């Protein structure tokens, strides 16, 4: 593998973002999120040798590109079926995106990769869609032969195995999106099995943001569990301390958007995020997701208007969503959302010359199987599809 080594990653003065705290602010390292607790020994991405918590998955991608020394004239291979948040970091570093084709079973199309790689290509992003690990062996070999870096996009997965090893350990870097797994307001992860990340220095966000992130996370948790001493009650009390006019900036990722905000690249996530992920029972959450996925696959598989690309889970994968193909995808998604069912669709991303991606962008809905969903929630999802398809 010949990709360049990580340069120093202090904020570059030319890109100095608007509201990054001064250099005297605490660094992530000094805040120490040691990732011990329940994350140890889980064989998850949080267990990979080198890792840094970031403000979001897209910030982790941006830092990986920076670590690779990418800049203008460089090109990055991105799968044609992708989340719109993936390309923002490429533009931020000044490089260009080349979309490569994916096969109907969501693997990288190796023949197309061979056509799309150029002398200026420096990195390839491989997405482990939906939390179902994709094949990595041949893609790794392709990257090695081409002398480019492989970045595993594990935004949808913290755990599972591909044909070349555990997800997140095959690439030069891997990124994850913590808000998709944990009940946190912000957070991403940059990990590498082979490259130390000591050069990555992130600054702590300001105190106001720390408080906001804590109560928004508690509020999220509380909306799943109401009781006398519920976190939701605490969050409501905390919210009343913040006058509505006091607006505290947060990363787009935390607010559910897909924009890229440069000012958050070199910021650490809220301390509350570090603390939460340390103490979340990962194995139980992973199991609950597997059960939720199977339950949805069985119930939605019986709906004749739907096609399921995956009905079975690979042995040790912790899924994020169940992918479902449906005609009039956009319309169905809107109707489901109107019923309070949060389905995702990547219908705004360009798909290049990939017919498969164009079809998926139109007709693929991603249905959550989050560990926080109740029996009633699953029933509502199934009933929602029955009513809208
Ligand atoms: C495949 C994929 N990669 C990267 C990201 C970015 O993660 P984040 O929202 O934490 O920035 C997302 C989600 O937005 C995603 O779905």
Residue ending a domain, choose from 218, 249, 280: 280
Do 274 and 286 lie in a common domain?
Answer: no
Residue 257 CA to ligand 1 center (angstroms) comes to 10
- Give the CATH number for residue 190: 3.40.640.10
Whole-prediction pTM: 0.87
What is the distance in A from the centroid of ligand 1 to the CA of 85? Answer: 6
Nearest ligand 1 atom, CA 129? 1
Q: Tell me which of 53, 55, 58 to substitute to probe ligand 1's pocket, judged by most ligand atoms within 8 Å of the beta carbon.
A: 58
Tell whether ligand 1 has an atom less than 6 A from the beta carbon of residue 154.
Answer: no
Cβ atoms of residues 373 and 341 within 8 Å: no
Atom of ligand 1 nearest to the CA of 188: 10
In three state form, how does the secondary structure of 70-115 look?
CCCCCEEEEECCCCHHHCHHHHHHCCEEEEECECCCCCECHHHHHH
- 338 and 349 share one domain: yes
Q: Indicate whether 305 and 351 sit together in one domain.
A: yes
CB atoms within 10 A of CB 247: 10
Q: Is residue 261 within 8 Å of residue 188, measured between CB atoms? A: no
**115/245 same-domain check:** yes
Clarify whether residues 259 and 302 are in a common domain: no
Cβ(251) to ligand 1 under 6 A? no
Of 280, 302, 330, which marks where a domain is finished? Answer: 280
CA 79 / ligand 1 centre spacing (Å): 14
Give the distance from CA 29 to its chain's centroid: 22
- Tens of pLDDT, residue by residue over 212-260, are 999 888 877 655 544 444 455 555 555 555 555 457 888 888 888 889 9
From the list 203, 258, 255, the residue with the least C-alpha distance to 91 is 258
- Confidence label for 279 from pLDDT (cuts 50, 70 and 90): confident
Task: Answer yes or no: do 192 and 300 share one domain.
Answer: no
The pLDDT tens digits of the residues spanning 350-368 come to 999 999 999 999 999 999 9
Task: Measure the CA–CA gap between 17 and 13, rounded to whole angstroms.
Answer: 9
The total number of structural domains in the chain stands at: 2
Q: For residue 304, how far is its CA from the centre of ligand 1 (angstroms)?
A: 31
Together in a domain, 131 and 248: yes
**Per-residue model confidence (pLDDT) at position 368:** 95
pLDDT digits (tens, 9 = 90+) for 290-307: 999 999 999 999 999 999
Question: Residue 19: pLDDT band by 50, 70, 90 thresholds?
Answer: very low
DSSP letters spanning 245-313: T------TTTTT-----GGGTTBPPPHHHHHHHHHS-HHHHHHHHHHHHHHHHHHHHT-TT-B-S--S-
As a whole number of angstroms, the distance between CA 335 and CA 329 comes to: 10
Atom 14 of ligand 1 has which residue's CA nearest to it? 85
The verdict on 300 and 270 lying in the same domain is no
Are both 85 and 169 inside the same structural domain? yes
**CATH number of the domain enclosing 383:** 3.90.1150.10
Is 120 in the same domain as 216?
Answer: yes
Instruction: Please choose from 56, 57, 133 the residue to mutate so as to test ligand 1's pocket, defined by most ligand atoms within 8 A of CB.
Output: 57
Whether residue 220 sits in one domain with residue 298: no
Neighbours of 306 (CB within 10 A): 18
Token match 């120490």: residue? 32
Burial classification of residue 206, based on how many CB atoms lie within 10 Å of its CB (0-12 exposed, 13-18 middle, 19 or more buried) = middle
Cβ of residue 90 lying under 6 Å from some atom of ligand 1: no
* Cα–Cα distance for residue pair 299/379, rounded to 1 Å: 9
186-222 pLDDT per residue, tens: 999 999 999 999 999 999 999 999 999 998 888 776 5
177 lines ligand 1 (CB under 6 A): yes
Q: What is the domain range of residue 346?
A: 282-388
Tell me: the pLDDT tens digits for 67-100? 999 999 999 999 999 999 999 999 999 999 999 9
User: What are the residues whose beta carbons fall under 8 Å from the beta carbon of 230, sequence distance 6 or more?
Assistant: 222
Q: Which of residues 245, 280, 315 is at a domain's end? A: 280
CA–centroid distance, residue 233 to ligand 1 (Å)? 30
Ligand 1 center–CA 194 separation, angstroms: 23
Q: Are residues 358 and 225 in the same domain?
A: no
- On the CB side of 208, CA atoms within 13 Å amount to 10
Would the pLDDT of 15 be above 60?
A: no
* Any atom of ligand 1 within 6 Å of the Cβ of 179: yes
């Amino acid at each position: 593998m010949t990709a360049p080594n990580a340069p120093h990653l202090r904020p570059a003065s030319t890109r100095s973002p608007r509201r990054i705290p001064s250099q005297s602010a605490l660094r992530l390292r000094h805040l120490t999120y040691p990732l011990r607790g329940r994350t140890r020994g889980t064989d998850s991405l949080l267990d990979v040798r080198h890792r840094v918590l970031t403000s979001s998955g897209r910030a982790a991608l941006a830092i990986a590109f920076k670590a690779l020394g990418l800049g203008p004239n460089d090109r990055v291979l991105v799968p044609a079926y992708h989340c719109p948040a993936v390309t923002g970091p490429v533009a931020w570093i000044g490089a260009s995106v080349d979309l490569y084709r994916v096969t109907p079973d969501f693997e990288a199309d190796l023949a197309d990769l061979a056509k799309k790689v150029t002398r200026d290509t420096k990195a390839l992003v491989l997405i482990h869609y939906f939390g179902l690990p994709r094949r990595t062996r041949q893609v790794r070999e392709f990257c090695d032969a081409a002398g480019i870096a492989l970045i595993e996009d594990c935004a949808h997965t913290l755990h599972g195995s591909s044909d070349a090893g555990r997800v997140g350990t095959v690439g030069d870097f891997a990124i994850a999106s913590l808000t998709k797994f944990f009940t946190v307001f912000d957070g991403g992860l940059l990990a590498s099995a082979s490259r130390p990340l000591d050069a990555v220095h992130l600054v702590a966000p300001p105190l106001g943001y720390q408080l906001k992130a804590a109560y928004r996370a508690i509020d999220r948790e509380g909306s799943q569990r109401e009781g006398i001493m519920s976190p939701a009650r605490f969050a409501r009390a905390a919210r009343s301390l913040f006058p509505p006019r006091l607006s505290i900036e947060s990363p787009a990722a935390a607010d559910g958007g897909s924009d890229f905000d440069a000012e958050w690249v070199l910021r650490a996530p809220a301390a509350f995020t570090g603390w939460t992920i340390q103490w979340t029972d990962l194995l139980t959450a992973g199991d609950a997701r597997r059960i939720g996925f199977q339950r949805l696959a069985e119930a939605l598989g019986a709906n004749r208007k739907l096609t399921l690309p995956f009905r079975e889970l690979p042995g040790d994968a912790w899924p994020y969503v169940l992918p479902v193909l449906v005609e009039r995808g956009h319309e169905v998604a809107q109707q489901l959302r109107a019923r309070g069912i949060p389905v995702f669709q990547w219908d705004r991303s360009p798909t290049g010359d990939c017919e498969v991606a164009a079809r998926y962008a139109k007709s693929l809905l991603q249905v959550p199987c989050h560990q926080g969903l109740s029996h009633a929630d699953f029933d509502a999802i199934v009933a929602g599809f029955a009513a809208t398809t």
